[in-house]
Amino acid sequence: MMVRFLAVITLVASGLAGIVGAPQADAQSSRSVLLRLCNDTGFDAGVMAAFQAGPSTSRTLQGWFLVPAGECIEGGLDGVAGSQMGLHAFSGAWRWPEFDLGQIWCVPANGGRRPGATTPPCSVGEQAARFEPVAINRFRAGWGVVDYRFGCEDFFWVADRTLCRETPLARDGMAEPVRELEVCNYDQITGRYALAHDEAGGRFHVEGWRDIAAGACEIVYRGFPADGQVYIRMLAGETVENPRRAPVFGQARSICHNPSDHFDVTSPRPSLVSAEFCPADAPELARFQTIRFESNVSRFTHSVHTLN
């Protein structure tokens, strides 16, 4: 269960008797640490800390601390030793740190204080998470302080920064997971695919054709489809003339597309989905496989075998 990180005004007040700039206690001695966490995203996020609790090299986990969108919170951790601690933040599919900056620990889904952190492979109900090492600085006598800020601008790729800024909110205020459609082509020949999905404001987008090599798996869509669904049409062969078609199973949708050329069309939904007359740049109606993302599902893998 996500737990709110309560401000420790009374704890900080109790340290006011200390003198700012007083010598810091031995780093191996347990002390209190003031955490100052800032969330620069547009959605709530959880933070977990991993720290040394004494002379032992084992780590204690404590969290999850809920940091509201666009806000900073403060709180205290007791019994912290060492000169640094690890911090991990998450919301939806977004994780901080992005790269290999520190130790990986197995984190539980619920919160609390957990001594004896373990490394992967993780137990049921846990997942591997990377913790960024952050220095514990001097604050007051017997106290350390850690400042940690995270946001969308921390991501390396422009596409990730853009998606992060555009992330819609889930019901609990956390980030909706980024939807990824992976296609695996198990044929012995290059495949081609066209994609379609709803956009905000009643618009609909359809585009094609793109190649996927024989035996390859690729992420062909990454984003936030307005209705939680993505539609795909798969062909086999390096040209689309007289291609072999991948079978459509389950739900399908009739969508206007261009059967012979590369195309990229965005129009009001009724003009492209089950339309009586298709537009000139997507002149033919064809059946697309429906891929539905259920709640909290981030990646869906679609395996393709075409008809012989």
What integer is the mean pLDDT of 265-271?
A: 96
At 20-36, the pLDDT tens digits run: 333 344 556 789 999 99
Half-sphere exposure in the Cβ direction for 166 (13 Å, CA): 15
CA proximity to 50, closest of 136, 143, 151, 175: 136
* Contact by Cβ (8 Å): 239, 228: no
> Does the pLDDT of residue 119 top 90, yes or no?
yes
> Does the pLDDT of residue 77 top 80, yes or no?
yes
pLDDT band for position 295 (cuts 50, 70, 90): confident
- Asked whether residue 56 falls in the same domain as residue 112, the answer is yes
At 31-62, the pLDDT tens digits run: 999 999 999 999 999 999 999 998 888 999 99
> Does the pLDDT of residue 10 top 50, yes or no?
no
Q: What is the dihedral angle through the alpha carbons of 60, 154, 102, 92, rounded to the nearest 10 degrees?
A: 50
Main-chain dihedrals φ then ψ at residue 177, nearest 5 degrees: -65, 145
* Contact by Cβ (8 Å): 53, 60: yes
- Asked whether residue 246 falls in the same domain as residue 124, the answer is no
SS3 162: helix
What integer is the mean pLDDT of 130-137?
A: 96
> Does the pLDDT of residue 11 top 60, yes or no?
no
Q: Are strands 59-67 and 45-52 parallel, antiparallel or unpaired?
A: antiparallel
pLDDT for position 200: 85
Alpha helices in the chain (DSSP H): 9-14, 158-166
Any domain includes 7: yes
Alpha helices in 123-186 (DSSP H): 158-166
pLDDT for position 30: 86
Any domain includes 227: yes
Any domain includes 159: no
Domain boundary among the residues 137, 154, 171 is at 154
**pTM score, two decimals?**
0.80
Task: Report how far apart, in Å, the C-alpha atoms of 261 and of each of 170, 185, 278 are.
Answer: 38, 21, 15
- Asked whether residue 183 falls in the same domain as residue 226, the answer is yes
pLDDT for position 7: 36
- Asked whether residue 39 falls in the same domain as residue 90, the answer is yes
What integer is the mean pLDDT of 85-111?
A: 93
- Asked whether residue 61 falls in the same domain as residue 133, the answer is yes
pLDDT band for position 251 (cuts 50, 70, 90): confident
Query: What's the domain count of the chain?
Result: 2
Any domain includes 170: no
Q: Which domain holds residue 232?
A: 179-304
Any domain includes 142: yes
Any domain includes 165: no
Neighbouring C-beta atoms of residue 132, cutoff 10 Å: 21
> Does the pLDDT of residue 306 top 80, yes or no?
no
> Does the pLDDT of residue 305 top 80, yes or no?
no
Any domain includes 201: yes
Is the sign of the CA dihedral 119, 122, 126, 130 positive or negative? positive
At 176-190, the pLDDT tens digits run: 999 999 999 988 888
pLDDT for position 69: 98
- Asked whether residue 148 falls in the same domain as residue 7, the answer is yes
SS3 5: coil
Q: What is the amino acid identity at position 243?
A: P
Any domain includes 189: yes
> Does the pLDDT of residue 86 top 50, yes or no?
yes
pLDDT for position 27: 54
